Structure 1
Amino acid sequence: MPTATHNHWGLKALFYTRIIWVLLHLFLLGYEYKAQDWSWYVLLLSCLIVGAIPQLIWIRTAQKSSWVYPVTELILSGLFLIIGSYAIGGYFPYLAIPAMCAAATTHSVRLRIPLWIWFSIVPAIAMAIVLPLSSFNISIIEGFFFFALGFGIWKFLDTQRKMQQLLDENERQRQVLEQYAKQVETITLLEERNRLARELHDTVGHTLTSVIMGLDAVSYLITDASEEAVVSINQLRVVSRKGLDEMRKQIHHIAPEREGETLSAQLRRIATDFAVHTDTSIEFEADETDIAVPLPVTMSLVRCLQESLTNAKRHGGATQIHISLTVLPELLTLTIHDNGCGMEEIHYGFGLSVMQERIEAYQGELLVRSNKNSGTTVLCKLPLKNRKGGQS
């Protein structure tokens, strides 16, 4: 039985109800059926044993979905019902709560049906021993009815357990999707910012430079103009130069080269955030180096890591992920291995296809290896040779 079901208030209520049931029958034996011979003491002791042993077994096996408690309950409670009825000379109704508890803790259909049959037969056997056929009463269905009631309780608890599992899974998926959406938003903003910075640099910078050069030429070509015109042109040139300087400052502010964070620090931060939001154990290993990594290469590895983490959790159900970053002067290698369910055949969906395109755009290589029930390994290789570490 899963721990969540074992701790459910319904089973706890049944557990304590059974204790009260046993104590009640001890009281009945003590005051209603008191005899003068030794058989009365044997009956009291039997009731105590029959009440205690299944209760202890229930405690020991509750979290293991074991068959031991229901079967023990049937044997001991059934024997006590027959012996007790024989000892007092009449039907001794004891089987109701034990039958209900046994049914509520039986998880196997193959075991439930035989138990139901035997719990239904035992009251008839007890009545046949102590009562004539004409005196049989409604108590004969005691085992059948209360076992059915216990099965209804089990069904209710099982439905709640499955609903809770679905809710937990939905919450995990929501966290994964939320994390993925944040990553996509961050990368989209970075890419748009870098694209805008390049366009500003190429268009506005070129235009202002052309204006300044034109004004410089005009100031030398004008020979007959008044001094005021020359002063105005010079002022315009000064303003244009200041505008160009200011634009360059803004561009530098929009697209900083590093933002003060190394490649390994960025990847480690992404892995840590993902681990926190998805309850995943992530181990990160990286070579400590100050080698310059171009921003496009950095962004490609960031996307590769984010997509791999998302796939490992969402599709593979991974609980442990190992990330390794190897930095060489001419090669970057990022390895992501998870313990998910894996797959027999690798399908390059949208995410993997985009990842492969980004890696290959920089002459890199993307390798994906996976086996059923053995997890998945993603290997990203990107060359660094003949590449500049900064932005123009």
Structure 2
Amino acid sequence: MTSALPHRHWFDYVFLSIRTLWFLAGVNYIVSNPGNYNHGSHLLGAAGMLGVALSFFFIIYLVPLVLYMRQRRLTVYPVIAEMALSGAFNCFFEGNSTNEFAFYNLPALAMAYMSGSRLGIGLAVSSVVATPLLASLVWGFGLESAVNIIVDGLIFLAIGYSFRKLVSSFFQIKRMNGIIGEQNRTLELYANQIEQLTLTQERSRLSRELHDTVGHTFTTTITGMDAVYYLIDADREEAKRSLRELLDVTRSGLDEVRRHIHQIAPEGEERSLTLVLSGIAREFASFTDTAVDYDAEGEEYPVPENVRTALVRCVQEALTNAKKHGFATAIRIRLTYHPDRLQLIVKDNGAGTNQLVEGFGLHAMGERISNAHGSLHVASSPGYGVTIECHIPALWRAEIRQSEGA
């Protein structure tokens, strides 16, 4: 098993510096004590191998270090190289294991620091324990000296292992911070998308509300003003009265537009849905010279604001379309309170068509009814006008009964 090594930590350069100082101190010791390496009691002493000892010591310094610094992931190869080279040097060149320079302490630290797996740590511990024991057998020094070297080696191994854990923890925290940063950027992107979506939905809602409000008000006003235009010569007082009523309707429409623009929810209506729709039908009939027959059936019950708004806007849009596009002279509105649903039917005697095109108004009407979990059906044929039928399930009544039963 290997561990990722994203890039160098400053601990690596500290380790490089310490290892270089150890190498220079070791070279100084070998040169200062040539007798330890050219003495006849050494296995290679007879050949006068001081140069060989220095060369071997340089290999010990360089090879594990190069393997470690060049790898992209932590592997056991630098540990194996350190274990084999330092162990061999300690066994075959360091005859005097009680000298002033402890050659094997830094290799013990290095093996633990360069290890990124349990296998590497296991090899390091085995080497720290086995090498002094093997050297004691080769050179015949006592077990007590070997145990002292082992203890020192284990201490340095623990120090190296602690340094490796610190570096690994640093990279893990940095990697986690990177993941957290990426997730934060993703969340910010999602938040911006949701914000844009919400803004788009709100704009769409406002456009529907303004379309229905402005369209209904303008249609009523224009039709009423057409009537006043012809009435003003025949009956000026009646014309003035009609103009005052048109002003009231226009002001009411303006107030509603202002509420939508300023994102202020309409004040809670005290009047029932039946009375609200009746008032709309009466105003439309009064100002457009259209016969509007409104009828409510069934036992009335409270209706949520979203359902109330959807039905009111549907009636307004249906009346506007009937007069503006169908040139209707008579419109019938029927609201039925079923125990489990509301039914609204608006039928006019306009021109009708075989090719009914869903414009903005009908599309907005369908969205409102759909948002209230209802259904909308529009039918038309030439000479028979348009019939709009809405069904909205009274889900809120079931919720109220459940809460009361609980």
Task: List runs of 5+ in structure 2 lacking aligned partners.
Answer: 39-47, 262-369, 372-406
Cα shift at 1:188: 0.9
Report what 1:106 is aligned to.
115
Q: Unaligned stretches of 5+ in structure 1?
A: 252-356, 359-392
For 2:115 and 2:37, locate their aligned partners in 1 and report how far apart those are by CA, in whole Å: 40
**Quick one: which amino acid aligns to residue 115 of structure 1?**
A
2:183 is aligned to 173
Q: Tell me, yes or no, if structure 1 residue 144 matches structure 2 residue 154.
A: yes
Determine the C-alpha separation between the residues in 2 that align with 1:214 and 1:75: 105
Does 2:76 align with 1:74?
Answer: no
Structure 1 CA distance for aligned equivalents of residues 149 and 57 of structure 2: 20
Structure 2 residue matching 1:77: 3-state secondary structure: helix
Is 1:121 aligned to residue 122 of structure 2?
no
- Residues 231, 239 of structure 2: 8 Å contact kept: no
**Could you tell me which residue of structure 2 aligns to residue 381 of structure 1?**
none
Q: Report the equivalent of 1:131.
A: 141
Q: Which residue of 2 aligns with 1:96?
A: 105
- SS of the residue corresponding to residue 153 of structure 1 reads helix
1:278-322 CA-to-partner distances (Å, cap 9, x unmatched) read: xxxxxxxxxxxxxxxxxxxxxxxxxxxxxxxxxxxxxxxxxxxxx
Q: Partner letter of residue 14 of structure 2?
A: A
Alignment pair present for 1:225 and 2:226: no
How far, CA to CA, are the matches of 1:25 and 1:149 in structure 2? 21
Displacement of 1:200 in angstroms is: 0.8
- 1:133, CA displacement in angstroms? 4.5
- The whole-number CA distance in structure 2 between the counterparts of 1:46 and 1:127 is 21
1:85 aligned counterpart, secondary structure: coil
Q: How much has 1:137 moved relative to structure 2?
A: 7.1
Tell me whether 1:24 sits opposite 2:25 in the alignment. yes
Contact 1:50 1:76 in 2 (8 A): yes
**Cα offsets for 1:225-245 (capped at 9, x unmatched):** 279959x959x89xx7xx99x
CA distance 1:180–1:136, shift in 2 (3 Å): closer
Counterpart of 2:168?
158
Shift of residue 35, structure 1, vs aligned partner: 6.8
Whether the 8 Å contact between 2:128 and 2:153 is mirrored in structure 1 is yes
Q: Please, which of 74, 82, 93 is the counterpart of residue 84 of structure 1?
A: 93
Contact 1:96 1:146 in 2 (8 A): yes
Note closer, same or farther for the CA distance 1:219–1:123 as it changes in structure 2 (3 Å cut).
Answer: same
C-alpha distance in structure 1 between counterparts of 2:49 and 2:120, whole Å = 35
User: Which position in structure 1 is the counterpart of 2:59?
Assistant: 49
Q: Does structure 2 retain, via aligned residues, the 8 Å contact 1:100–1:150?
A: yes
TM-score (norm 2): 0.52
The residue aligned with 2:222 is: 212
* TM-superposed deviation, 1:150: 1.2
The alpha-carbon deviation at position 44 of structure 1 amounts to: 1.9
Distance 1:43 1:115 in 2: 23
Q: What is the Cα deviation at residue 224 of structure 1? A: 3.9
Write the distance in 2 (CA, Å) between the matches of 1:89 and 1:109.
29
The answer as to whether partners of 2:228 and 2:239 remain within 8 angstroms in 1 is: no
Letter in 2 for 1:18: R
Aligned 8 A contact 2:79 2:123 in 1: no
Partner of 2:199: 189
User: 1:21, 1:97 within 8 Å by CA — same for their partners in 2?
Assistant: yes
SS of 2:26 mapped into structure 1: helix
Q: TM-score, normalised by structure 1?
A: 0.54
2:8 equivalent to 1:3: no
Contact 1:81 1:93 in 2 (8 A): no
CA distance in 2: counterparts of 1:220 and 1:67, whole angstroms: 102
Contact 2:76–2:119 (CA<8 Å) still a contact in 1?
no
Which of these residues, 64, 67, 92, is aligned with residue 73 of structure 2? 64
Distance 1:233 1:209 in 2: 15
Q: Does the CA-based 8 Å contact 1:127-1:140 persist in structure 2?
A: no
Determine helix, strand or coil for the equivalent of 1:7.
coil
Report if the CA contact (8 A) 2:79-2:120 is conserved. no
Shift of 1:40: 2.3
Spell out, residue by residue over 1:339-362, the C-alpha distance to the aligned partner (whole angstroms, 9 max, x if none).
xxxxxxxxxxxxxxxxxx99xxxx
C-alpha displacement of 1:23? 1.4
Compared CA separation, residues 221 and 123, structure 1 to 2 (3 A): same
Question: C-alpha separation between the residues in 2 aligned to 1:104 and 1:74?
Answer: 13
> Which residue identity lines up with residue 219 of structure 2 in the other structure?
T
- Report the structure number with the largest CA radius of gyration: 2
With over 3 angstroms needed to count, the CA separation of the structure-2 counterparts of 1:126 and 1:142, relative to structure 1, is farther
Percent sequence identity over aligned pairs: 29
Residues 18, 97 of structure 1: 8 Å contact kept:
yes
1:83-106 Cα offsets, whole Å, 9 max, x none, are 2322x5754511111111111121
What displacement does 1:78 show? 1.0
Distance 2:125 2:145 in 1: 24
Give the deviation of 1:72 after TM superposition.
Answer: 0.6
